[in-house]
Structure 1
Amino acid sequence: MNRRRNVYISLTAAVLSGCLVYGMYKLQRIQIEREGTVAVLVPKRFIAAGERLTEGDLAYKSVPNAAFVPEMILKKSQAAGKETIIPLGKDEPILSWKVDRYLLQPKRSESTFQIPKEYIRSISNGIRAGDRVLLYVSGDASPSKRLFEEAVIVASVKTSGNVEIDNMENPNILSLADGNKEQMYASRRDANGMIDYLNLNLTEAQWLQLDSLCKNGEQMLVVAYSPESLDFHTDGEADKP
């Protein structure tokens, strides 16, 4: 009897020892897996360009450390309430440059300036809110030149009746966000109205330079539509901050 009891005790001890070893192995594996991955934010469903994200649209997904890039968003508070600049696929890590809280709002270093009509010599009637434009200065006493090396963002273009120039049935800004060249072209063709008010997002240094050149009337602005407008939303490298 004692011999049989000893056998049972030995078997029980062996089983418990095995369970303990296996449990330790699982805990170590879980720890290693956690240390080797990062939880990033992803959409639960396909999100079209121009949609505003809600917390219900968002979830977390683990990605290997080797695949993690600094642009990936880690907290819901960093994405919820923002608009998508380009479409997002289900379970696709959300990158910071793919969302914006206010697409036409100036950056922290910028302000929105209304350009006085007397400063403008000519303006492309094809520009719309959200476009990027190139600014040139032109005067009779000096050669024409490009004012800023980089293109600047148009905050709004309005008629004399303070109405935004766009095709309301097919807004240019949504076509631009989707990267849809055909709809973007069609919305520009169908939109009507003469541009009377132009608002640009500029840094303080840019505005002061522009104002000093144009306020005496000797030089005026030529505002040209830039092809960077479409590249800004369809090329990931161009979109990165």
Structure 2
Amino acid sequence: MNRKRHLLLSVTAALLSGLLVYGVYMLQLRQVKFQETVNVVVPLRFVAAGERLAPDMLGQKQIAKASFTDDMAMSRDELAGMEVVVPLGANEPLLRWKVDKFRLLPSQSQSTFGIPRDYVLSVSNGIRAGDKVMVYVSGEAAGSERLFPEAVTVASVKTAGNVEIDDADNSSLLSMASGDKEAMYASRRDANGMIDYINLNLTEAEWLKLDSLCKGGQSKLVIAYSPESLDVGSPPAEGTP
């Protein structure tokens, strides 16, 4: 009987020793993993939404490999010329969804729609291509309400002569003719002038809703600049460029 008890205690002690050794090994392995570092790209200063990134605005920072995610940028070269979608904090790992190269272009689920002038009651002065706007509907019968729950992106703005407001020093039309998409995009972003026509990136369902409300003339749109152009947002939905 004592022999069996001694054997049981020996086996139990061996198992506990094995578990202890395994636990120490796992802790050491975890410590080594946390000690491994990787270099990621960080802004050297606060960067406001809408700014275009230049190499001298970016640096690198070492973080624990365990904290690294696939969305963190590792090369400054891949970010050169990108436009900031949401504000970036200084020395924070730069996530790729926070920047975009051609933010004026519609996503895969959208198209760019020219809003007819007689659909618009008012539009905020100073709206430029790339801004976020809130769209409201105003009518005597239905009253006033927000048309879409989320802000939408302005693709371009035009003058009374239906000419796209352009950068006099860098024409987007010439850039388009030469196939220079970067220069064309920059000239549209830097455009300045009085707005008479506005183009919005909308889904088909959003356009059909807008058109059905306004085509009879009883309701009109109020297009207002949105603070979402500056606020920190969420990652874009899958399929958004």
Q: Same fold (TM over 0.5)?
A: yes
- Structure 1 position 158 matched with structure 2 position 158: yes
How far has the Cα of 1:71 moved from its partner? 3.0
Aligned: 1:224 with 2:219: no
Q: Any conservation in 1 of the 2:110–2:204 contact (CA below 8 Å)?
A: yes
Q: Which runs of 5+ in 2 are unaligned?
A: 1-27, 170-189, 237-241
Question: In the TM superposition, what is the alpha-carbon distance from 1:66 to its structure 2 partner?
Answer: 3.6
Instruction: State the partner residue of 2:64.
Output: 64
Once residues 201 and 111 of structure 1 are traced to their aligned partners in structure 2, the CA distance between those partners, rounded to angstroms, is: 6
Q: Could you tell me which residue of structure 2 aligns to residue 211 of structure 1? A: 211
SS at match of 2:148: coil
Could you say what the CA RMSD is over the residues aligned between the two structures, in angstroms? 4.1
> Aligned pair in 2 of structure 1 residues 84, 139: CA closer, same or farther (>3 Å)?
closer
The worse-fitting range, judged by mean Cα deviation, of 106-115 and 57-66 is: 57-66
Deviations 1:27-81 (A, max 9, x none): xx9xx9579747464279889731367xxx999876324422453136789x356
Distance 1:92 1:222, change over 3 A: closer
The CA deviation string for residues 118-153 of structure 1, in whole angstroms up to 9 with x for no partner, is: 211221223222221111111222211110111111
Q: Secondary structure at the match of 1:133?
A: strand
CA distance in 2, matches of 1:196, 1:39: 50
Q: For 2:54 and 2:205, how far apart are their aligned partners in 1?
A: 32
TM-score (norm. length: structure 2): 0.58
CA contact (8 A) 1:41 1:94 kept: yes
1:228 is paired with a residue whose SS is helix
For 2:36 and 2:105, locate their aligned partners in 1 and report how far apart those are by CA, in whole Å: 35
**8 A Cα contact 2:104 2:155, kept in partner:** yes
Distance 1:205 1:143 in 2: 21
One-letter code aligned to 1:71: D
Aligned residue pairs, count? 183
> Could you tell me the percent identity over the aligned residues?
46
Q: Any unmatched runs of 5+ in structure 1?
A: 1-28, 169-186
